Chains A and B, each alone.
Chain A
Amino acid sequence: MNDYYLNIIVMTCLWAALSGAWNLMAGYGGLVSLGQSAFFGIGAYATAVLYATYGFSPWVGLVAGVVLTTSTAVLISWPCFRLRGAFFSLATMVFPIVTEIIANNWTDVTRGFTGIAMNFKPGIENFMFQSRWAYVAAAFLLMLLVYGVTRWIHRGRLGLYLIAVRDDQDAAESMGVEPVRVKLLITMISAALTSLGGFLYAQYILFLDPPSVFSINISVQIALFSLIGGLGTPLGPIVGSLIMTPLDGLLSTVLGGGPRLLIYGAVLLGVVLLAPQGVVGTLQARWRK
Chain B
Amino acid sequence: MNPCASTSALLKVDSVVRRFGGLTAVNQVSFEVRQGEIVGLIGPNGAGKTTLFNIISGHLSANEGRVEFDGRDMTNRRPPLWAKAGVGRTFQIVKPLKSLSVLENAMVGALLKNNKAVARERAAAIVERVGMGALMHQPAGSLTLESRKRLELARALSVEPKLLLLDEILAGLNASEVEESIHLIRSLAEVDGLAVIMIEHNLHAVMSLAQRVVVLDYGVKIAEDLPEVVVRHPKVVAAYLGSDDE
Contact = CB atoms under 8 A, between A and B. Distances in A.
Interface of A: 155-157, 160-161, 163-164, 166-168, 170-178
B83 A176 contact: yes
A276 B24 CA distance: 47
B104 A168 contact: no
Interface string B17-38: 0000000000000000000000
Contacts of B156: 174
Given A156-B116, A170-B79, A171-B155, A176 B100 contact: no
B181 interface: no
B78 A175 contact: no
Given A170-B95, A171-B91, A176-B84, 6 more contacts: A156-B116, A157-B111, A166-B99, A174-B82, A175-B109, A175-B112
Contacts of A178: 80
Contacts of A166: 99
Nearest to B84: A176
A234 to B, nearest CB: 16
Given A173-B83, A174-B57, A175-B155, A168 B78 contact: no
A163 B100 CA distance: 8
Interface in B83-115: 83-84, 88-89, 91, 95-100, 104, 107-109, 111-112
Contacts of A167: 96-100
5 contacts: A170-B91, A172-B97, A173-B80, A175-B108, A177-B80
Contacts of A174: 57, 59, 79, 82-83, 88-89, 91, 155-156, 159
Nearest to B101: A155
A168 B99 CA distance: 10
Contacts of A172: 97, 108
Most central of A156, A163, A167 by chain B CB within 10 Å: A167
Interface of B: 57-59, 78-80, 82-84, 88-89, 91, 95-100, 104, 107-109, 111-112, 116, 155-156, 158-159
Contacts of A173: 58-59, 78-80, 83
Given A176-B84, A177-B80, A170 B59 contact: yes
A160 B104 contact: yes
Contacts, number: 71
Given A167-B99, A171-B91, A171-B97, A176 B159 contact: yes
A176 B78 contact: no
Is the contact region of chain A dominated by helix, strand, or loop, or is it mixed?
Answer: helix
Nearest to B95: A171
Contacts of A164: 97, 100, 108
A160 B99 contact: no
Nearest to A232: B99
Contacts of B58: 173
A176 B95 contact: no
A249 to B, nearest CB: 35
B54 to A, nearest CB: 10
